[in-house]
Structure 1
Amino acid sequence: MKALLCKEFGPAEKLVLEDIVPVEPGEGQVVVEVKACGVNFPDTLIIEGKYQFKPDMPFAPGSDVAGIVTKVGEGVKRTKVGDHVLGVLGWGGFAEEVVANEESLIHLPSSLNFVTASAFAMPYATSYYALKDRARLQPRETLLVLGAAGGVGLAAVELGHLMGAKVIAAASSDEKLAVCHQYGADELINYSREDLKVRLKTLTGGNGVDVVYDPVGGPYSEIALRNTAWGGRFLVIGFSNGEIPRIPLNLALLKGCSIIGVFFGSFAQRDPKHTMQNFRQLLMWIDEGKIKPLISATFPLEQGAEAIKRIAARQVMGKIVVVADHL
């Protein structure tokens, strides 16, 4: 079978497409024929050795896998050959087949296609965990989303709107903000030409925002934190800007606010039952048409490196997906 492999840490150009030995399931595992794999910002980090997890070499990037079960190992109880499943695996998805633990798989409804399933997994699960479980976002609260047109950002905009919040979307272009408005943003800030501090004060009447969702890092993080309301919650999602900000901790004291880390991968490992409950709610909303991931492009496996490059360059609105050649 073919896989796009990382054999040494570095940029996406170093990934190589190779034939490898077909995978076999162990106890409690299944083999999934990969039909689609969502591309996420952590894929850009894991191939450079900058992510929290460092797989043994060689490995294929790609976390969010949707496909068909082709083999089952001993001890597998609720999954059979032919089942359509979704798995958030961490890595391994840029391949024709992948091994997954049965307990990590979600069975897909017949109404959900593979491409959409792979596109919603990590961004929506991360954003829902962040807003519901970490920030405990309430209806009528104000939510500021930085980097709002990216994968997790746009998911946060859509979910925040669905959860009844007033959503302020901040992004770097009017084109990106137009998409955010379509996904439920009530107010828009183009921070490439507008003063984020001034606009936030104007939009909130000087009261500040209740929740900040920050997957970007860089210079806007401190501005956003300074413009939280009393008792606000600042969600640390990631650092797509490449700069990890140094935050003056006295701001948390003066604002009476909380700085909250959001590490979905660790949460999913530590509390799989809760994770599955969240996924079931998200799948219900997709089935009801209440959320719909924006898929801006698809790439065949041999062009997976180009997909990662686009994510790294922050050229993507919503999601891009690596798909099986015949889809």
Structure 2
Amino acid sequence: MKAIQIDEFVKDFSELRPKDVQCQCKSNQLGVQITHAAVTHVDMLYAQGLHQNNRRHVKPPFILGNEFAGTTTSSPPNSSFPPGTRVFGSALGSYATHICVSETAVKPVPSQWTNAEACAVGASGAISYGGLMDVGNLQRGQWVLILGATGGLGVMAIQIAKAVGARVIAAVADGEAGEKGRMVRRIGADVVVDFQGKEWEGRVREATDGGEGVHLVYDSIGAVESGIRCCRYRGRIVIVGFAARGGEMEMVKMNRVLLKGISVVGYRFGEDGRRDPEKTKQAWKGFMGLVEAGKIRPVIYSGEYKGLESLPRALEDLKERKAWGRSVLRISEEAGQTDKSRL
């Protein structure tokens, strides 16, 4: 098969090229022909050796990529996913034409979605649901600020928050009049704030009842200091990632946490799944319930990335913050294309 294999960490994404790699599934694994793979910030860090996992289990050689959709080509006897089943899932090694995974790593593609759409959502829907509802305890009528609102996690968080009756402030890079600002408006944001503008945290507070600030901050970019400024007293911050920090962690002044009575909680979806699988199951159940109710719309970036050869360009566009929603790499064709999801 063809794959983007990391034999040593790269300094420039142009160094990433597909090569021939052996793929032999075990008897208890699913074989999947990948049609689409998501382009994420984790992949950027993995390729450069800048992620904390690169110091542990993600060491060269490994195949890059974490989220995919495709069609099963082989499966164990009595599998829930016989050959020909459309699936999407999360597993290291998705920048390839084929992958071998356990059944627990995939879910069936909802009938109303194409493979590309399922790939664009990936695990981000369940992560955002768990972060907002379980960890963040978001309630109807509360104000929530989404940091990283235009990313894969952010666009899911906006839609989930609106579906449960919360009021959403989306922080974006180009303001309400820009392309990203218009996009988050279309998927439900009540207020759009340009986080590159001066005193933007003050504008977040002004938008809330009495100017007190938001009840909850959902942070996927690593901006806890700003989140604290935007919170009301006894506000809550849920950290799900550090996408905007390039591997460098933020130093937070803890006196501000004390003065506002802020609760700051980290949410590691994968670790939760390992320690308490039932919580992860409930997050998926809650999110898929919103999908079935028609409350969730996949958001695919308009850029076209066809073939493994286009991965360097896709990662560079993500690094330069050109992309919004989820960039999707088309590895092979599928019936029914993705235009309806391109906002």
2:300 equivalent among 295, 300, 309: 295
Residues 139-178 of structure 1 correspond to what in structure 2 (within 5 A)? 139-174=140-175, 175=178, 176-178=180-182
Amino acid at match of 1:299: Y
Is 1:42 paired with 2:48?
no
Change (3 A) 1:16 1:58: farther
**Amino acid of the residue matched to residue 98 of structure 2?**
E
Find the aligned partners of 1:88 and 1:170 in 2 and give their Cα distance: 27
Greater mean alpha carbon deviation, residues 77-86 or residues 253-262 = 77-86
AA partner of residue 7 (structure 1): D
Deviation at 1:212, TM superposition (A): 0.7
1:18 CA drift (Å): 0.4
Distance 1:25 1:280 in 2: 29
- The equivalent of 1:86 in structure 2 is 88
Q: Is the 8 A contact 2:300 2:325 kept in 1?
A: yes
Other-structure match for 2:8: 8
> Is the 1:7–1:15 contact (alpha carbons within 8 Å) kept by the matching residues of 2?
no
Cα offset for 1:27?
4.2
The equivalent of 2:330 in structure 1 is 323
Q: Which moved more, 1:161-170 or 1:105-114?
A: 105-114
Q: Give yes or no for contact 1:140–1:166 (8 Å, CA) kept in 2.
A: yes
Distance 1:156 1:120 in 2: 11
Structure-2 separation of matches of 1:192 and 1:264: 29
2:25 counterpart of 1:25: yes
How many residue pairs are counted as aligned between the two chains?
322
**Structure 2: how far apart are the matches of 1:86 and 1:52?**
25
**Rounded Cα–Cα distance in structure 2 between residues aligned with 1:213 and 1:66:** 27
Match of 1:117 in 2: 118
Q: Which residue of 2 aligns with 1:250?
A: 255
Percent pairwise identity:
30
Inter-partner Cα distance in structure 1 for 2:136 and 2:282? 17
Report the AA paired with residue 135 of structure 1.
G
Return the match for 1:308 from 304, 315, 319: 315
Residues 16-70 of structure 1: per-residue CA shift (max 9 Å, x gap): 210112x222242111110111111111111112223232422222211111111
Q: Which amino acid in 2 is paired with 1:81?
A: P
Counterpart of 1:104 in structure 2 is 105
**CA distance 1:298–1:264, change in 2 (3 Å):** farther
Tell me, which stretches of 5 or more residues in structure 1 are unaligned?
A: none
8 Å contact 2:124–2:152 — kept in the other structure? yes
Matched ranges for 1:163-312 at <5 A = 163-174=164-175, 175=178, 176-204=180-208, 205-218=210-223, 221-242=224-245, 243-296=248-301, 297-300=303-306, 301-312=308-319
Matches of 1:65 and 1:2, distance apart in 2:
15
After TM superposition, give the deviation of residue 194 of structure 1 in Å.
Answer: 4.2
Deviates more, 1:108-117 or 1:128-137: 108-117
Alpha-carbon shift at residue 278 of structure 1 (Å):
2.6
- TM-score, structure 1 normalization: 0.91
Measure, in 1, the Cα distance between the counterparts of 2:123 and 2:106. 13
Q: CA shift at 1:73, angstroms?
A: 4.2
Q: RMSD between aligned alpha carbons?
A: 1.9
What secondary structure sits across from 1:295 in the alignment?
A: coil
How far apart are the structure 2 equivalents of 1:131 and 1:181? 19
> Contact 1:212 / 1:234 at 8 angstroms: preserved in 2?
yes
Instruction: State the 1:274 CA deviation.
Output: 3.4
Long gaps (5+) in structure 2: 335-343
Task: Find the aligned partners of 1:319 and 1:222 in 2 and give their Cα distance.
Answer: 26
> 2-side partners of 1:104 and 1:4: how far apart?
20
